[in-house]
Amino acid sequence: MKTKKEKEEEKSVNIFQSSIVPVHELMNAEEKADLLKKFGVSLKQIPRIKDDDAAVKMLGAKRGDVIRIIRRSPVAGEYYYYRVVV
């Protein structure tokens, strides 16, 4: 069980300043609908991310929101990965 101080310290660290953490973007309702239509999938078919994940907390996302993760690869270049908050 984390203490109050540990929880506060966890919030003060900006994980997105690290070069290891890829860019995370919270998608709006229109982008989310377009994504589901484009790929012909439902929210249940998108990989999940827990609502207590540090990136989710930093973005202020809630259950049902979709997060676009932009990853970079020397081989594939830039590519997108989507996760739904559960």
Q: Secondary structure of 24-73 in the HEC alphabet?
A: EEECCHHHHHHHHHHHCCCHHHCCEECCCCHHHHHHCCCCCCEEEEEEEE
Distances (CA, A) of 44 to 1, 61, 82, 84: 31, 17, 12, 8
61 pLDDT higher than 60: yes
- 71 in a structural domain: yes
- 11 in a structural domain: no
Residue 53's pLDDT band, with cuts at 50, 70 and 90, is confident
- 28 in a structural domain: yes
- Please write the tens of the pLDDT for every residue from 3-26: 766 666 556 666 656 566 788 899
- 2 in a structural domain: no
- The 10 Å Cβ neighbour count of residue 38 is 8
- 27 in a structural domain: yes
CATH number at residue 77: 3.90.940.20
Structural domain tally of the chain?
Answer: 1
Model pTM score: 0.74
What is the extent of the structural domain holding 66? 22-85
The pLDDT of 25-41, averaged and rounded, is 95
Residues 6 or more apart whose Cβ sits within 8 Å of residue 2: 10
